Amino acid sequence: MNDQKTLRLRKRAEFLTVRSGEKRRGPFFLLEMKTREPAESAAAKAGNKPRVGITVTKKNGNAVIRNRIRRRLREAVRTKAAGDMADGTDYVIVARRDALSAPFAELVRELAKRVSKKAEQKR
């Protein structure tokens, strides 16, 4: 298990907020990123970790196909990309149909490449 655990975006408002951020297009997904405003509450400690949301639309197929795409992307984030994600940033992955048939190693590599571009710009 990774040292850095990512939290999930759950509410529609959180997903819509990230839409106004930076977008990185790829062959398997669109990655949207936005840095959160610093929170002053007690939950600020947990609020510093990166948060991830995955969107798979009905255009991609039926529920079985959409869930399979979602599981593949979630595992790609867990195995590789979570360590590269910047603290205090929200990420939304909007899947494309090609994410289902792509080799997993290529999917992971593409995700890590898109996430690391953001990390390089912050430094």
> In the chain, where are the structural domains located?
7-122
**Maximal C-alpha separation, the chain:** 43
What pLDDT score was predicted for residue 23? Answer: 96
Asked if residue 4 has pLDDT above 50, the reply is: yes
Q: Is domain 7-122 annotated with CATH 3.30.230.10?
A: yes
Residue 121 CA, distance from chain mean position: 17
Residue 113 CA, distance from chain mean position: 12
Q: For 63-102, how does the pLDDT look when each residue is reduced to its tens digit (9 = 90+)?
A: 999 999 999 999 999 998 888 898 889 999 999 999 999 9
Q: For 20-52, how does the pLDDT look when each residue is reduced to its tens digit (9 = 90+)?
A: 999 999 999 999 999 988 765 545 555 588 999
Instruction: Return the residue matching tokens 């936005």.
Output: 34
Q: For 54-65, how does the pLDDT look when each residue is reduced to its tens digit (9 = 90+)?
A: 999 999 999 999
The answer for 88, left when phi > 0, alpha when psi is -120 to 50, beta otherwise, is: left
